[in-house]
């Protein structure tokens, strides 16, 4: 929920949006609508594009360079919506100026640069947050709550599919384009975050685009669960689905089904009964699998705009000094997997070890 701005208790925080291209307008609109924030500037090298966005969001100031923005505007925070390769230098400059920062995914284009950002923000005492928007959707918040309440039991496996007939990106492959969504969601909903032991990636480039256009990720977790992610730019059918199987129940999230986004199935293999059967017939070579057949139900979901909640959480983190749900540490865990994915692809799909995962609340040191 948004904390209403008050001139004496919670004065509105001042924010500038850097980047008026694809995602910047969405950020600008939500900051402009929020009572937590005052949108004071749009920054883009294309002045005409920035002016067009400013006219649609309350006519904040328009500047064409980050240097001018930080020198000439009194802002508490910046939101960065520029190409991934520019995230690190812009965010470092803003953190160096004492500004709080939210960055469009990914946090940076390498894990090393991401670690540098997290360390810099920690040293400066500023909030660093990744705009992993899916983590602020009603469905994903409900999934986290169900898992946290133990409704699914121990997580056994996750199967995630994010495929469509999509735009081949000029600067990244299909893993870096689509998989960050699934990885960030899992880091958000799993009780211990995304704690992958290793990464194995298989990719194909039937378009001769010079990069993987179809991809499969296998991510064994420290808990013993197995995560599988399928991403694809070439599918004529758009699918956004995640299956999370637990020892008690299985949850299916279909993001393209507005009538029933989440279904919880109380049916599957009865692990408790199976253990008892195995104990009873330990001398036999094989036993009949025990199944449970229960109800299927769909939880009610609230309706709100995810980006509106994200900007509210950003304000709350600044005011309270506590980490945001998608803080820099979370973004680092996603970056580590993406970087290991690239190494696995380059080595013909071998498992790349992630022996030093980024735990919550700690910065991983360079070796």
DSSP 31-54: HHH-TTEEEEEEE-S-HHHHHHHH
The residues, ordered by sequence, that sit 6+ positions from 170 with a Cβ below 8 Å of its Cβ are none
Q: Are residues 244 and 143 in the same domain?
A: yes
Residue 173 lies in a domain: yes
Burial class (CB in 10 A: 0-12, 13-18, 19+), 286: exposed
For 66, phi then psi, to 5°, come to: -65, -35
Residue 3 within a domain: no
pLDDT band (50, 70, 90) for residue 272: low
- Indicate if 101 and 140 belong to the same structural domain: no
Q: Contact at 8 Å (CB) between 245 and 224?
A: no
> What distance in Å separates the CA atoms of residue 229 and residue 216, rounded to the nearest whole number?
6
Strands (E), 205-355: 214-220, 226-232, 234-246, 250-254, 262-269, 291-297, 352-353
Answer yes or no: is 240 within a domain.
yes
179 and 218 inside one domain:
yes
Domain with residue 47: its CATH number is: 3.40.50.720
Q: What is the pTM of this model?
A: 0.87
Q: Let me know whether 126 and 164 are in one domain.
A: no
Per-residue pLDDT, 295:
85
Q: Which secondary-structure segment (H or E) carries 159?
A: strand 155-165
Indicate whether 189 and 121 sit together in one domain.
Answer: no
Q: Which residue's structure tokens are 């993987």?
A: 212
Q: Do residues 217 and 181 share a domain? A: yes
Query: How far lies 190's CA from each of 135, 220, 297, 357, in Å?
Result: 12, 14, 21, 15
Per-residue pLDDT reduced to its tens digit, 60-95? 999 999 999 999 889 999 999 999 999 999 999 999
Q: Are residues 279 and 349 in the same domain?
A: yes
Q: Residue 213 CA to chain centroid, in angstroms?
A: 21
Q: Which of 193, 190, 195 is nearest to 145 (CA)?
A: 190
Domain count, the chain: 2
Which among 3, 10, 57, 63 has a CA at the least distance from the CA of 32?
Answer: 57
Over the stretch 281-314, which tens digit does the pLDDT of each residue have? Answer: 554 445 566 777 778 999 999 999 999 999 999 9
The answer on 141 and 37 residing in a single domain is no
Under 8 Å between Cβ of 56 and 29: yes
Q: Which domain holds residue 222?
A: 135-305+334-353
pLDDT at 10: 75
Q: How far apart are CA 6 and CA 13, in angstroms?
A: 11
Q: Looking at the predicted structure, is the pLDDT value of residue 315 above 80?
A: yes
Q: Is the pLDDT of residue 1 over 70?
A: no
Strand partners, 79: 17, 102
Give a yes or no: residue 361 inside a domain.
Answer: no
* Per-residue pLDDT band at 131 (split at 50, 70, 90): very high
Number of residues in the chain: 367
Mean pLDDT over 265-280 rounds to 64
Quick: pLDDT tens for 349-362: 999 998 644 444 43
Pairing mode, if any, of strands 352-353 and 291-297? unpaired
Query: Do residues 214 and 174 lie in contact, with contact meaning Cβ atoms separated by under 8 Å?
Result: yes
Q: Identify whether residues 348 and 322 lie together within a single domain.
A: no
Give per-residue pLDDT as tens, 236-259: 999 999 999 999 999 999 999 989
Q: Are residues 120 and 262 in the same domain?
A: no
Residue corresponding to tokens 């969001």: 57
Report the pLDDT value the prediction gives residue 27, as an integer from 0 to 100: 98
Asked whether residue 96 falls in the same domain as residue 155, the answer is no
Element at 56 (helix H, strand E): helix 47-56
The domain that contains 221 carries what CATH number? 3.30.360.10
Q: Is the peptide bond before 122 cis (omega within 30 degrees of 0)?
A: no
Tokens encoding 151? 């409704």
- Say if CB 33 and CB 9 are below 8 A apart: no
Residue 294 belongs to a domain: yes
Domain assignment present for residue 367? The answer is: no
Residue 101 within any structural domain of the chain = yes
If you ran DSSP here, which 8-state letter would residue 285 be given? S
365, part of any domain: no
How large is the C-alpha radius of gyration of the chain? 22
Same domain, 124 and 170: no
């Amino acid at each position: 929920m948004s904390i209403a701005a008050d001139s004496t208790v919670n004065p509105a925080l001042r924010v500038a949006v850097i980047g008026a291209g694809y995602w910047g307008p969405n950020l600008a609109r939500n900051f402009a609508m929020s009572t937590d924030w005052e949108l004071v500037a749009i920054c883009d090298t294309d002045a005409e594009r920035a002016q067009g966005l400013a006219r649609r969001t309350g006519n904040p100031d328009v500047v064409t360079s980050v240097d001018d923005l930080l020198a000439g505007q009194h802002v508490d925070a910046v939101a960065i919506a520029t190409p991934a390769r520019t995230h690190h230098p812009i965010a470092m400059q803003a953190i160096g100026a004492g500004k709080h920062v939210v960055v469009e995914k990914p946090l940076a284009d390498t894990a090393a640069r991401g670690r540098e950002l997290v360390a810099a923000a920690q040293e400066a005492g500023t909030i660093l947050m990744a705009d992993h928007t899916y983590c602020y959707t009603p469905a994903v918040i409900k999934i986290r709550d169900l898992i946290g309440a133990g409704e699914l039991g121990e997580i056994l496996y996750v199967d995630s599919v994010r495929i469509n007939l999509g735009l081949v990106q000029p600067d990244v492959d299909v893993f870096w384009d689509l998989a960050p969504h699934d990885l960030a969601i899992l880091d958000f909903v799993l009780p211990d975050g995304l704690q992958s032991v290793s990464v194995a990636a298989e990719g194909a480039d039937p378009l001769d685009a010079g990069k993987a256009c179809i991809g499969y990720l296998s991510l064994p977790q420290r808990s013993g669960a197995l995560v599988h992610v399928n991403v694809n730019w070439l599918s004529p059918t758009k699918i956004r689905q995640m299956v999370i199987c637990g020892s008690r129940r299985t949850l299916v999230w279909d993001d393209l089904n507005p009538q029933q986004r989440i279904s919880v199935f109380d049916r599957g293999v009865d692990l408790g009964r199976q253990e008892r059967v195995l104990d009873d017939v330990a001398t036999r070579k094989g036993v009949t699998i025990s199944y449970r057949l229960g109800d299927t139900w769909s939880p009610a979901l609230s309706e709100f705009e995810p980006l509106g909640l994200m900007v509210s959480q950003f304000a709350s983190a600044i005011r309270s000094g506590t980490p945001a749900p998608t803080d820099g540490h979370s973004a680092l865990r996603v970056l580590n997997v993406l970087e290991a994915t690239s190494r696995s692809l380059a080595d013909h799909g071998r498992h790349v070890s992630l022996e030093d995962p980024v735990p919550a609340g700690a910065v991983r040191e360079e070796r």
